[in-house]
Each structure stands twice: as structure tokens, then as C-alpha cells.
Amino acid sequence: MIDAPTPPRFTLSPIGVIESDYPDKFGIPRQPGLATAARASLVLVPPFNDPLAVRGLEDFSHLWLTFVFHLSPDQADAERWTPLVRPPRLGGNAKVGVFASRSTYRPNRLGLSLVELVEIDTRRGVRLVLRGADLVSGTPVLDIKPYLPWAESRPEARAGFAPEAPPQLAVAFSAAASATLAERPDSDSLGELIIQVLAQDPRPAYRQGAETRTYGVRLRDLDVRFRAVAAEGATCMEVMEIVPA
């Protein structure tokens, strides 16, 4: 066993907090960019909410966000971390090393997401308006870095057990759900968000195919109730009702 010296521990201060369409973890796509209708903002906190800190950032279209999976257990202590995790992409049973995964259960709970920058609002502090983020509201963000495609885009890279985006399922709305949606001022973007989120089949990985069970995913101020049904030989997501959360 290599006897590497134990490096010192570090204390990190969040520079901002996410406000997003996702009040809960359940239902959030497993990577950014899979639900481009998802709205999010990164609101910088004092003393980092200085407009000078984002001068020039408007010239970049995408950002790396480093953040804390604050709703996952803290595993930073040696006796609490687990070297193996069960990626949903492998059906939730097969195990891989935590460092071979993007699991939220990891020693320092650090997440990394590439998100699209839509707008920077510095009228009162600093608010970065984002598109396609995969972060629950309240997520503490530790750092922002501009994305450099010439250095970081590697389409030739091998991606192990996650070689491409997850399969997309068809999504249908019941008459009741369609009627509720039509009454909403945000009906267009909300309808798009519901389709993009449910198309990822947010159910636990071990749940496949049609089943009678009803699920609820929180989006914006709503609870979107859905189930998986069989349609033309495939599994389809049926939105049964949309109710205030």
C-alpha cells in the first residue's frame, strides 16, 4: 500500500446558491442539458456578489459549476465513505467504484455540471440565469469557471458504462392534466419541462416497464403525478394529473 502522507483538510465557502425548477432531488435528470426547459439561477452571496467578479463572463456561453450535493450524506470521514456505488445506468444493482461514477454519494459530495449561461443580472448583486441545470433548489455552489471547448470538448473520449444520453420515453397527458396545463401562464415552458423530465424515466433504476404505481415529481410549484404504461409495445409515461404542491 503506498503510504502517501495525509494532506490537510480544507474549509470551503459557497459563493452562491441555486434557485431552480426542482424543489426535490427526485425527477431531476441525471446530467445537465437533458432538460433544457429547466430554469435555474445562481445567486451569488456576499462578499462574492460583486459584479466585478463576473466582468467578462458574459462572453462565455457555458459554465462549469462546482457545487456540494448538500442533500447527500456527508462521507468525508474515513469510516463513513463507501468505495462502491450502484449507478442507475447499470440498473441499480451492479456496483462500480465511486470514482468511476457521477454518483451523488461521494467522499466530499462535490458535483460538477456544465450549464448554459443565459443572462447575467447585476442590478442587485449578481444573478446568473442558467439553462439545463441538474441541481435542486438550495444547492450551494463553490465555484464558477468558463467552459473552453477547445480544451474540454472531447467527443472521441470513451465513456464506459454511460456512452450516450439515456433513452427517451414518449410522454402523454391525460385530459385532466392537459386542462390544468392550459390554464397556467407558464404552460408552454412547463409542458416542455414535464416532457423532458419524464422522458428520462425518473423512476428508481430497478423499476422498468409498465406498472400500476403512481409517482409524483415536484416541478416549480406543482406536483406532477404520472405512471408508466405500455403503449404500442413500448413503455410510455402518462401524466395523470398536475396539482399544486
Q: Which of 49, 75, 104, 235 binds ligand SAM (CB under 6 A)?
A: 104
> Cβ distance 98 to 110 under 8 Å?
no
Please give the distance of CA 137 from its chain centroid, rounded to a whole number.
10
Q: Which of 17, 19, 54, 113 binds ligand SAM (CB under 6 A)?
A: 113
Q: Which of 31, 75, 174, 178 binds ligand SAM (CB under 6 A)?
A: 31
Distance, CA of 46 to CA of 14 (rounded, Å)? 10
Neighbours of 7 (CB within 10 A): 6
> Does the footprint of ligand SAM cover residue 16 (CB under 6 A)?
no
Distance, CA of 184 to CA of 189 (rounded, Å)? 10
Using CB under 6 A as the binding criterion, the count of chain residues that bind ligand SAM stands at: 18
Q: Which is nearer to ligand SAM, 101 or 180 (CB)?
A: 101
Footprint of ligand SAM on 64-103 (CB under 6 A)? 69-72, 102
Shortest CB 82 distance to ligand SAM, Å: 16
Distance, CA of 198 to CA of 172 (rounded, Å)? 10
> Cβ distance 95 to 63 under 8 Å?
no
Please give the distance of CA 118 from its chain centroid, rounded to a whole number.
17
> Does the footprint of ligand SAM cover residue 145 (CB under 6 A)?
no
DSSP state of 68: E
Q: Which is nearer to ligand SAM, 55 or 95 (CB)?
A: 95
Piece of 26-34, 37-45, 157-165, 187-195 that binds ligand SAM (CB under 6 A): 26-34
Residues that bind ligand SAM (CB under 6 A): 25, 28, 30-32, 69-72, 102, 104, 111-113, 134-136, 139
